[in-house]
Chains A and B, each alone.
Chain A
Amino acid sequence: MLLGFQAQAHEMTPAYPKFSYSHISGVSVTKMFLFNRRNDVSYFEIGVFSGDWKEIPFASTSKLIKVKHTKKYPFDVYIRNSDLDRVTYICTSSKSFKGEGQRTIITSRICSKVE
């Protein structure tokens, strides 16, 4: 029963990421890890937001990432140094396919807070 529950989990660490200088001038980077234990979801969207949930431009390998079931996916988030003081949340949201039948689909979103 417990394993069944675990098979549907979405998790992201660290909870409190810190940015450090990247190899690109004027840009900082932090490393995040996404764990996909949802067997009904393979795609996740990365988002970076200010404290009032306004989107902040960022760069990563891809904004939409494919993470297979039970896999851990490391990804870097690059932010312009000029935006660093506004960055508050780094989030990943599950993306669901269009459903069939009369049902609800649960979209999961995990947000880490930048220190």
Chain B
Amino acid sequence: MIKKITPLIFLLSTSYAWAVNSPITGTVQASCSIVTTTPGQYGVPNIWKLSTAAADGGQDAVIKTQIGTADKYKVKITHPNSFSSSPSLSDTLTWTGSSVYTSGSVSGMSAYNAAKVVVGNETTFDMTLAGTTFFTVASTASYGYNRAFPSGSYTALILAECIAK
């Protein structure tokens, strides 16, 4: 009798175990990624000017941000106002630049440009929507009063920041 019941109990208990729900849990955290899509390149339209504009033979920098949760981050982009490395320069430099929202995964992001805050060379965007956003950063440096840039390598830093609100 026991020999007959034991396998039956085993089968029943196994079936019962298979029937237990196994929940899958996960946590979504607010997050921000800064993606350096395109580092900029200076063109040299004339001897006294370096410019990332395509019309000047350069390439604007493109920065992508991925925001995981709406209204949790600000993005601050600082366009250059000095070279991080260059040949020795004895005259003054005049810098111009801009940071502009160019496209995003949500149509409402097109309002970012109107709402951005520009202070000096810093542009702050309030990321009120979750999704992917592209920004274009332009930079121009002019040397002295139409003086020729000394030959050599010129590098300038763009700072892209994601700051939790």
Interface residues of A (CB under 8 A from B): 5-6, 8-11, 13-16, 35, 37-38, 40, 89, 96, 98-113
Measured CA separation A5–B36 after assembly (Å): 8
- Top-7 shortest CB links A-B: A104-B40, A99-B155, A102-B42, A113-B164, A15-B30, A108-B34, A11-B33
Measured CA separation A13–B164 after assembly (Å): 11
- Cβ-closest chain B residue relative to A10: B34
90-130 of chain B: CB within 8 A of chain A: none
Given the complex, which residues of A lie within 8 Å of B40, measured CB to CB? 103-104, 106
By the criterion CB–CB under 8 Å, are B35 and A6 in contact?
A: yes
By the criterion CB–CB under 8 Å, are A111 and B155 in contact?
A: no
By the criterion CB–CB under 8 Å, are A104 and B157 in contact?
A: yes
Given the complex, which residues of B lie within 8 Å of A9, measured CB to CB? 33-36, 66
26-64 of chain B: CB within 8 A of chain A: 29-37, 39-44, 50, 52, 58, 61, 63-64
Name A's interface SS.
Answer: strand
B143 contacts partner chain A, Cβ-Cβ < 8 Å: no
By the criterion CB–CB under 8 Å, are A106 and B73 in contact?
A: no
By the criterion CB–CB under 8 Å, are A15 and B33 in contact?
A: no
By the criterion CB–CB under 8 Å, are B153 and A101 in contact?
A: yes
Given the complex, which residues of B lie within 8 Å of A37, measured CB to CB? 33, 35
Interface string of B1-38 (1 = CB under 8 A from A): 00000000000000000000000000001111111110
Given A5-B37, A11-B33, A15-B29, A106-B63 contact (CB < 8 Å): yes
Measured CA separation A113–B41 after assembly (Å): 33
Give chain A nearest CB distance to B33 CB in angstroms: 4
Give chain B nearest CB distance to A89 CB in angstroms: 7
Given the complex, which residues of A lie within 8 Å of B157, measured CB to CB? 96, 104-107
Q: Which of A38, A100, A102 has the most CB of B within 10 A?
A: A102
Interface string of B57-83 (1 = CB under 8 A from A): 010010110100100110000001000
